[in-house]
Amino acid sequence: MGELIKGKPVADKITEDVKLEVEELNKKGIFPKLQIIRVGEREDDISYERGALKRMSTCGILTDVKTLPADICQDDFIKEVKKSNEDTSVHGILIFRPLPKQIDENIVKYIVDPKKDMDCFNPVNVAKVTEGDKTGYAPCTPSAVMEILKYYNVDLTGKNVVVLGRSMVVGKPQALLLLQENATVTICHSKTKEIAKIASAADVVIAAIGKAKMVGKEFVKDGAVVIDVGINVDENGNLCGDVKTDECLEVASLITPVPAGVGSVTTSVLAKHVVKACKSAI
């Protein structure tokens, strides 16, 4: 029987470190600030916003939420992003995605200032993550996965890691971050043949495929580490991940639950990014 490894102690450790950094900045008259840009009233956006605001408050980071109408046109949206770019009191910008259909993300992603882009939206930051340039900002969720692995002393050097999912939000950047830690990485996706067989040979499995309870114990070899990034709703309306947690716990050595796993670390990584951006700005 494996061990459930929760995100809270990881998030608490990062939060305490960030708080100390913010206190030192405040003594110098410097006040880190995050600008959240939300379009419409999507429940998942509002839920994440609530968690982010709470985390920023705990860390002592100033916040401002720019709530825009769901039918805002692209030109007006771009104007709002540019205002945040130009606001010298704002150090970090978080734009909730996906954006409504009338806004082309392939255009907007070039507008947000890469120095304030907290979740790797701008291709400049994507390139920096690809190159291993630490001045960039990797997406918060893959970064949270790395923080969890580090906190629980999972050595990645030379280990075989399978990432389930190839999105720009998690899968692809996750693979790049793992490579930087000398892991040997395989990316699987919906078109991968014999996906369970491939995953079952891995030392670490990171599930970010976006399908509720897809990963059963046939995906996990004895003693493997399983990180569940999925956020789904099951047939009973309950929050669940991509992994059948109880079943996989029988064979895995360590496994993150959903909820109370990766998601709880993501907002602390966001706070860490804001302080980094603030320090870079000064």
254 and 155 housed in the same domain: yes
Task: Flag whether pLDDT at 165 surpasses 90.
Answer: yes
> Does residue 106 sit in the same domain as residue 35?
yes
Strands (E) located in 174-245? 184-188, 204-207, 225-228, 232-233, 239-240
Nearest to 199 by CA among 215, 184, 183: 215
CB 214 within 8 A of CB 189: no
Asked if residue 91 and residue 174 are part of one domain, the reply reads: no
Query: How many folded domains does the chain comprise?
Result: 2
The whole-number pLDDT of residue 177 equals: 98
Q: What is the CATH number of the domain that holds 100?
A: 3.40.50.10860
Q: Model confidence over 113-123: pLDDT tens digits?
A: 999 999 999 99
Q: Is there a domain that residue 47 lies in?
A: yes
Identify the band that residue 251 occupies on the pLDDT scale cut at 50, 70 and 90.
very high
Is residue 130 domain-resident? no
CATH number assigned to the domain comprising residue 178: 3.40.50.720
Q: Is residue 276 part of a domain?
A: no
Beta strands in 106-234 (DSSP E): 160-164, 184-188, 204-207, 225-228, 232-233
Q: Is residue 184 a contact partner of residue 133, using CB atoms and an 8 Å limit?
A: no
The distance from CA 231 to its chain's CA centroid, rounded to whole angstroms, is 12
Distance of CA 56 to the CA centre of its chain: 16
In a domain, 15, yes or no: no
Instruction: Let me know whether 186 and 77 are in one domain.
Output: no
In a shared domain, residues 49 and 87: yes
Domain that holds residue 45: 29-113
d(CA 262, CA 268): 11
Name the token pair of 102: 């009338």
Local confidence band at 227 (pLDDT 50, 70, 90 cut-offs): very high
E strands, 118-218, are: 160-164, 184-188, 204-207
Per-residue pLDDT tens digits for 17-51: 999 999 999 999 999 999 999 999 998 899 899 99
- pTM for the whole structure: 0.95
Q: What pLDDT shows up at residue 223?
A: 98
Q: 131 lies in a domain? A: no
